[in-house]
């Protein structure tokens, strides 16, 4: 639930609710598809088919569902049925593409022209190579998924802020790639399902000569989830069979708690200053922190946690991230009005 809260209040998620474009609808059907896919329900094909009617690259969801069925369905009948479901799910996309091909001309701004028309790039003021690329889109993805998570002090210099961003990118990349590779190594098929959609989506947009940050809003949660899984896996490997002495674990938790609290105290005074920038979103951090407090209290009561230092460290880090998130949210959302 901590991950869900952070994803829900992500600045780009809330900002796109104010824009009449497809990303919010697209994200909804992606999440719905994965919900049924990871719960091994055939309804995942239905929602994947609907997602392809929002954006072409959602066909990767159908591929992910089919491959997961090949892994989990053991009988020949079940696999044939999975293939039939995938064909039916791809039918709306196939009809759409057939209509596109029959009516497509070499002129115009259709997506296919962007990828295949030779003269399309003449309309750009810079070369196509400067508008595409893996590294460029990794940076755009970082801006959506990781940039809002930790903000520097208000009086931090430019050099300190740049250092923080560089470390953020380094840790984000390390966590993501370790999580992805380790998940595949351990045959965690849920990780495979996420990657079967994430990788084709990312590559297509890395080749698309319109480097818009919002294009990564539908997949930022996958990057963030894999990064968190990566660091969780690293910790589990280091502390396998509780090999790290208990005092050292408590010391690390205490250090994290102190650093998070000091950082949080340094950022809290900025919240009132951000309110005039975005009155619409001013209540978001307070509501989010209240929800975190309530959930943590309920979890502690139900599961009888006996490690208060760990719980306080988690609480401090989550509150720090929520407050940091408000900086990007206020700047991006503004007053929430787009027609003035």
CA distance readout (Å), 11 to 21, 136, 211, 255, 263: 16, 20, 18, 29, 21
For residues 271 and 323, the answer to whether their CB atoms sit within 8 Å is yes
pTM for this structure?
A: 0.90
Asked whether the predicted pLDDT for residue 252 surpasses 60, the reply is: yes
Q: In sequence order, which residues have a C-beta less than 8 Å from that of residue 226 and are 6 or more positions away?
A: 175, 176, 179, 180, 183, 191, 194
Cα dihedral across residues 54, 57, 59, 62: positive or negative? negative
pLDDT tens track for 13-44: 999 998 888 999 999 999 999 999 999 999 99
Between CA 142 and CA 220 the distance in angstroms is 8
Per residue in 296-338, pLDDT (tens digit) is 888 888 877 778 888 899 999 999 999 999 999 999 988 766 5
245 dihedral zone (left: phi>0; alpha: psi -120 to 50; beta): beta
Mean pLDDT across the stretch 258-284? 91
- Helix ranges, the chain (H): 2-8, 11-16, 23-38, 43-52, 59-72, 76-103, 111-116, 134-145, 158-185, 189-206, 220-238, 246-267, 270-274, 284-303, 308-333
Assign 200 to helix, strand or coil: helix
């Amino acid at each position: 639930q901590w991950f869900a809260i952070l994803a829900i209040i992500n600045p780009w998620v809330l900002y796109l609710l104010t824009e009449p474009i497809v990303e919010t609808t697209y994200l909804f059907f992606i999440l719905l598809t994965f919900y049924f896919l990871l719960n091994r329900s055939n309804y995942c094909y239905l929602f994947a088919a609907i997602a392809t009617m929002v954006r072409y690259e959602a066909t990767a969801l159908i591929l992910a569902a089919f491959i997961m069925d090949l892994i989990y369905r053991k009988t020949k009948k079940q696999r044939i049925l999975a293939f039939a479901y995938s064909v039916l799910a791809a039918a709306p996309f196939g009809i759409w593409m057939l209509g596109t091909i029959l009516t497509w001309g070499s002129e115009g701004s259709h997506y296919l022209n962007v990828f295949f028309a030779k003269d399309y790039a003449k309309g750009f003021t810079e070369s196509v190579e400067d508008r595409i690329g893996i590294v460029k889109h990794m940076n755009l993805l970082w801006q959506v998924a990781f940039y809002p998570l930790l903000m520097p002090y208000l009086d931090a210099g430019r050099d300190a802020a740049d250092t923080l961003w560089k470390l953020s990118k380094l840790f984000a990349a390390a966590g993501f790639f370790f999580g992805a590779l380790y998940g595949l190594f351990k045959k965690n098929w849920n990780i495979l399902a996420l990657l079967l959609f994430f990788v084709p989506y990312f590559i297509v947009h890395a080749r698309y000569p319109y480097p818009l940050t919002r294009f990564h809003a539908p997949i930022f949660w996958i990057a963030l989830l894999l990064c968190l899984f990566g660091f969780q896996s690293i910790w589990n490997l280091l502390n396998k069979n509780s090999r790290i002495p208990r005092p050292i674990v408590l010391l690390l938790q205490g250090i994290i708690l102190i650093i998070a609290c000091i950082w949080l105290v340094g950022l809290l005074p900025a919240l009132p200053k951000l309110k005039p920038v975005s009155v619409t979103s001013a209540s978001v951090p307070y509501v989010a922190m209240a929800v975190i407090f309530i959930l943590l209290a309920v979890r502690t009561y139900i599961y009888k946690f006996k490690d208060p230092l760990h719980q306080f460290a988690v609480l401090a880090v989550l509150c720090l991230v929520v407050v940091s998130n408000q900086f990007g949210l206020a700047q991006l959302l503004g007053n929430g009005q787009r027609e003035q």
